[in-house]
Amino acid sequence: MKFVLALVGLVLTCSVDISVSKDAALETVSKHGQLSVQGVDIVDENGEKVQLKGMSLFWDVWMPQYYNKEAIDGIHDLCHSNVVRAAMSVETEYDGGYIETPEDTLERLYAVVDAAIEDDIYVIIDWHDHEADQHLNYSLEFFDIVSKKYSGVPNIIYETFNEPTGQSWNNILKPYHEAVINAIRANDPDNIIVVGTPTWSQSVDQAAANPITGQKNIMYTLHFYAGTHKQWLRDTATNALNNGIPIFVTEYGTVNADATDPVDEAESRLWWDWLDEHNLSYANWAISDKLEGASALVANTTAAETCQEEFLTESGRLVVAQNKA
């Protein structure tokens, strides 16, 4: 009798566990292997649903000190991440980026990607731009180089356009993404490609109305900042999911959209509950020690100190607890 009761208990426990969320540090590439997109879900090489949770780096030209193995070790082990996002600057007003100094960009990118491979976690190669449609030739060159270099490596995820602003999905963004997808697919037939959506990657509804067809393993970017974006954006995204659009939150903040204080813990929890309920993957903005609310690290944190508890900010502590949950 006791045995039967225990079994019933076990079944009940299992049936209330409706999401795949768990300590992301343990959900490594060697455990899950090659990812693909099935319906709206990311599945691993055994067809099981998998969720990536982790951290985005800051623009590489402004925080190059975290583009190395020491920082990636901390992000995996101590920030409990199975994904890290390399935010590769394309052009900035004064400090350059890929267009001015492609070799510097690639060197920093390779340091992060190689560290992520060594640390057994997934890595998003993010074209961190707001006007990528204005210089498509650079996108094509960049994604050709990196997809050739890392072709067949299961750790890799491509993000073709961080945050478009007012560009039209139908006339500008969709054709831009299709061109970049073709460049990547010529070298790398399988790894997931995440494409940016209008309005700083919020208007997933526009993509849902006219999705990219004839391609596999394509996902759509949703970004949110909990202090600014609330239930209305979750509703938009839920509708997009219901319309069959796979969503990846490659960047989110616990604070306001301009990265400033305060941390909105209550709204962040609503977002995390929603993300976990839908088994969505997410990366927090950002591994940065800039004096602003979104930063996960306190001022002057070194690479070797990345994600050590005493160097986490208020936002960083909440995010790490969530990555671990």
Ligand X SMILES: *[C@@H]1O[C@H](CO)[C@@H](O)[C@H](O)[C@H]1NC(C)=O
Q: Any idea which residues carry the catalytic annotation?
A: 163, 251
CB of 247 to ligand X, least distance (A): 12
DSSP conformation letters of 55-100: EEEP-TTT-GGGSSHHHHHHHHHTTT-SEEEEEEE---TTT--TTT
Cα four-point dihedral sign 203, 319, 289, 79: negative
Residue 190: both structure tokens together: 């399988």
Helices 265-277 and 314-324, interaxial angle, to 10°?
20
CB of 323 to ligand X, least distance (A): 17
Three-state SS at 287: strand
CB of 233 to ligand X, least distance (A): 18
Q: Closest CB to ligand X among 16 and 266?
A: 16
Q: Closest CB to ligand X among 30 and 137?
A: 137
Up-side HSE of residue 187: CA atoms within 13 Å toward CB?
20
CB of 200 to ligand X, least distance (A): 25
Q: Closest CB to ligand X among 213 and 300?
A: 300
Q: Closest CB to ligand X among 110 and 274?
A: 274
CB of 145 to ligand X, least distance (A): 10
CB of 3 to ligand X, least distance (A): 26
Q: Closest CB to ligand X among 127 and 169?
A: 127
Q: Closest CB to ligand X among 145 and 172?
A: 145
Q: Closest CB to ligand X among 50 and 283?
A: 50
CB of 48 to ligand X, least distance (A): 7
Which residues contact ligand X by CB under 6 A?
A: 18-20, 49, 137-138, 141, 278-279, 299-300
